[in-house]
Amino acid sequence: MNATAQGEIPPRATTAGNTASGRGGVSGALRRLLPQSYLILVLVLIVIVGALVSPNFLTVRNFSNVVSFSSIVAILAVGQFYVIVTGGIDLSVGAILALATVVVALTLQTGVDAGIAVVFTLAVCAGFGLGNGLLVVWVRIPPFIATLAMMSVVQGFSYIIQSSSLIYIQNQTFVTWFSDGRVLGIPNPVMIFLFVTVAAAIVSRYSTFGRRLYAIGGNREAARLSGLPVNRDLLVTYSLSGFLAGLAGLVAAAQLLQGSSLVGRGSELDAIAAVVVGGASLVGGKGNPVNSVIGVFVMATIINIMNLVGISSEPQLVIKGAVILVAVFLSSAGGVERISAAVSSLRGKRRTGP
């Protein structure tokens, strides 16, 4: 048991700076790195397949389409990652995203400054996230149930305040900020999600807050007995998830030019799937936000290729499900190790003979 555990990589601890401790030469190094970087390989493979099957795939236009389309889920996935790494889950992010579109559209309708509308919306969304946190920490409801209930509450709340079918957004400043504008030639939504991803990566890898979240997800009681502010950190994490869902909602609202409680239905599941495809464990304590975002792109690229070659949406769902299963088998279920163990035992049998 010990020895099999030694074969695998401690999830994050060995990443930067100390790869020199490798044993077993090239194949050993490869075996240790493979589970870590396999996602990139998978993405590269998908891109190659895409280039082969569709002439339109490797075009700037298609590329920017995929990235813009993915930025919303990517922002959600980062927030979801933080919750999942603590051993929780946040099912309310899709509903909070929709709420953000409604709230920002309504506030803009009153004619206030775009900046104020944005800050207000993000505050409301973080507030609902905090509500999740309070339910989990103080009322001690399991995260799955607490955020499921919150999802329903938020959906209903959006309907009520929306009160009409949908609300158009005409504030050009807002639309420029979150959709049309560019910085250094890069569309703003992409800039936002890049910023969020990089910041999240730094926080999770180098900050005390990030380290504490891994500890809480890895063993909550050990974290508590080590004097970590577990409750406070969980409140911050759920608020952060709400905040990022709000941010994703702002991008969605600006792209759609409307606020509607129907936006983003089911996107929480896309985000969770991406985090899991990115190698995080729902038990907590494992994974990193960059892999979660790569997970988003793996899914988005596959869907894009299927669209380009004209596969209709029903078979797409089947393929999407299969991709999730294979990816999770390879990453968190230890598929790479299991396959290589099976191969080596087969080889061993052949060598010694029956």
Partner 1 sequence: MNQAAEAVVRQGRPEPELLAEGIVKYYPGVRALNGVGLSVRAGSIHALAGQNGAGKSTLVKILSGAEIPDEGRLLLGGKQVHLHSPIDAQTAGIQTIYQELSLVPELSVAENIFLGMLPRRAPVPVVDWRQMHREAEKALARIGFEMDVRKPVSSFSVAEQQAVELAKALRKRARVILLDEPTSALPPPDVDRLFSVLKALAQEGETMIYISHRMDELYELCDTVSVIRDGQSVATMSTAETTPADVISAMLGKALKGSIQEASLSGGTHPRLGTGEVGDVILSVQGLAETGKVEPTSLELRRGEVLGVTGLVGSGQSTLVSLLAGARQRTSGTIAFEGKPVNFASPRDAIRLGIGLLPQDRKAHGFVPDMSVADNMSLASLPMFSRLGMLNDRRIGQTARDIAARLEMRISGVDQSMKTLSGGTQQKGILARWLVRSARILICDEPTRGVDVGAKEEMYALLSDFARSGGTVIIASSEISEAVLCDRVLVMARGRVVAELAHDDVGSDGAEIIRHFA
- Name the site residues for partner 1 (rule: CB under 8 A): 1-7, 10-11, 13-14, 16-18, 21, 23-24, 206-209, 211-212, 214-215, 218-219, 221-229, 285-286
- Nearest Cα residue to 169 out of 249, 96, 283: 249
Residue 147 vs 197, nearer CB to partner 1:
197
CA distances from 149 to 83, 136, 162, 231, 291 (A): 16, 12, 20, 20, 29
- At residue 187, the 3 state secondary structure works out as strand
Spatial neighbors of 71 by CB under 8 A, at least 6 apart, are 189, 190, 192, 193, 251
| Start-to-end Cα distance in the chain | 26
Separation CA 158–CA 151 (nearest Å):
11
Shortest Å, Cβ 282 to partner 1: 14
- Nearest Cα residue to 343 out of 39, 44, 34, 41: 34
Separation CA 268–CA 208 (nearest Å):
27
Shortest Å, Cβ 295 to partner 1: 20
Shortest Å, Cβ 291 to partner 1: 15
Separation CA 64–CA 59 (nearest Å):
9
Residue 105 vs 223, nearer CB to partner 1:
223
Residue 170 vs 226, nearer CB to partner 1:
226
Shortest Å, Cβ 30 to partner 1: 14
Shortest Å, Cβ 277 to partner 1: 19
Residue 23 vs 140, nearer CB to partner 1:
23
Contact 254, 177 (CB under 8 A): yes
Shortest Å, Cβ 279 to partner 1: 13
Separation CA 240–CA 93 (nearest Å):
11
Residue 143 vs 287, nearer CB to partner 1:
287
Q: What are phi and psi of 251, to 5 degrees?
A: -60, -45
Q: Measure CA 137 to chain center.
A: 23
Residue 239 vs 255, nearer CB to partner 1:
239
Shortest Å, Cβ 351 to partner 1: 13
Residue 174 vs 214, nearer CB to partner 1:
214
Shortest Å, Cβ 262 to partner 1: 39
The two tokens of residue 127 are 């507030």
Would you say how long the chain is, in residues?
Answer: 354
Residue with tokens 């020199």: 20
Residue 58 vs 341, nearer CB to partner 1:
341
Spatial neighbors of 307 by CB under 8 A, at least 6 apart, are 316
